[in-house]
Amino acid sequence: MNSVMIFGLGELGGWVLELLARSSGVDSIVTCDFREKWGFMKTESAAIGAGQQGYNKAIVFEKCDVNNIDATAELIHKYQPNMIYSALTLLGWLEIRILPEAIGPRYWRSTVCNMPGNTILVSKLMQARKIAGSSAPVLNNSFPDGVNPVLWRNGLGPAIGGGNIDLITGEIKRAVSVKKGVPFSDVMVYMICDHAVVPQSAYVDGAKIEAPYFLKIMISDRDITNEFDIERLILDSVLMGSHSGQTSQINHPSVAASSVKNILAILNNTNEFTHAPGPNGLPGGYPVRIGAKEITVVLPKEITLEEAIKMNLEGLKHEGINEIKDDGTVVLTEEAYNIQRELYGVDLKEYQFADMEELATTLSAKGRELIAKYQKS
């Protein structure tokens, strides 16, 4: 019996629930959120809808605030899930999308400012998992390109992420399959890139990708990469053409589908070839094979793992992360530091893991002030 615990039933976590409730290969789902009324209604709605489509899963809701690590550990121990999914954050992506639209593309250089808010709750969930004695793999959907390596360096690493690089490769496979008149599944893509290459992030200085990336496209055993304008193939994004008000309807279903695919690959040991951010604590995104026992980076002959990691570390600089130290300390780029000081009023060049909770509270509060300011203007 395959079971999944979902932590965080916001816009993205809600979509993951809806898709998992209608997926074969998972038998029971436990949803967890600190908002009791919302969480119960969302869970019951998904259960009813799935039931109407013929799925008979056991789906239950539990009120849970992961800030209470011991209580969270008790829940994990009670249900003994085979897989844990997290969409936990102090400031959701749907909320902050108004900022780059209002402030301008330079905001992308300081996305690191939301990193503590993406890190702290997931770290508490991972602590609870450890206390519960659970070995269930965890998929983190909150900026896994940067958060996963920070947590791994502190013994709290999620197994993998979802979305980000997988959104790009999905769009590429769709575009190529249409142009070539072949099924989506016949298109093989090898890509390496950080979240900074996602088109929303790429438009910092116009329609040009600044962050480094690697891309190889194949149909069967034939390399067709040179038949395409690769940069335009990435930038001409349908998903990323949405504005903040459309995010949940346009972007989140695809992010959720990516994460559900990865969850099912682990639960059912399919050894599926795909792309994912933050596998095994690596920075950025990679082609991987996902199974129950291991997640393996699968690279083409043209590039080594060392080169791929270096490429992704360079990509993180375009999001304001100059370095992630061995102890998980995040060092800001000079540009991100200056933007942070200007927009958030915080004069800090490094985020130390021990200070993440205080930083998360401060930066998330400042972020909400910015959002309120631009919503009114």
The contacts of residue 284 (CB under 8 Å, 6+ apart) are 145, 165, 192, 193, 194, 195, 277, 278, 308, 309, 311, 312, 313, 315, 316
Report the pLDDT value the prediction gives residue 364, as an integer from 0 to 100. Answer: 96
The structural domains of the chain, with segments of one domain joined by +, span 3-92+107-161, 165-317, 321-376
Q: Select the CATH number that applies to the domain covering 3-92+107-161 from these four: 3.40.50.720, 3.30.420.40, 1.10.10.410, 3.40.50.410.
A: 3.40.50.720
On whether the CB atoms of residues 9 and 20 are closer than 8 A, the answer is no
CA distance 156 to 123: 6
The contacts of residue 223 (CB under 8 Å, 6+ apart) are 216, 217
Report the pLDDT value the prediction gives residue 316, as an integer from 0 to 100. Answer: 96
Report the pLDDT value the prediction gives residue 369, as an integer from 0 to 100. Answer: 93
For the segment 31-55, what is each residue's pLDDT rounded down to a tens digit? Answer: 999 999 999 999 999 999 999 999 9
DSSP 324-350: E-TT-PEEEPHHHHHHHHHHH----SE
Q: In terms of pTM, does the model score above 0.85?
A: yes
Strand-pair category, 285-290 with 295-297: antiparallel
Report the pLDDT value the prediction gives residue 207, as an integer from 0 to 100. Answer: 60
Report which of 230, 237, 167 is spatially closest to residue 199, judged by C-alpha positions: 237
On whether the CB atoms of residues 338 and 346 are closer than 8 A, the answer is no
Strand partners, 29: 4, 59
The stretches in the chain having pLDDT less than 70 are 199-207, 240-245, 247, 377
CA distance 170 to 60: 32
Q: Which two tokens stand for residue 308?
A: 């791929």
For the segment 320-346, what is each residue's pLDDT rounded down to a tens digit? Answer: 999 999 999 999 999 999 999 999 999
DSSP 85-107: EE---SS-HHHHTHHHHHH-GGG
Looking at CATH, the fold of the domain delimited by 165-317 is given as L-2-Hydroxyisocaproate Dehydrogenase; Chain A, domain 2 (3.90.110)
On whether the CB atoms of residues 108 and 222 are closer than 8 A, the answer is no
Report the pLDDT value the prediction gives residue 204, as an integer from 0 to 100. Answer: 45
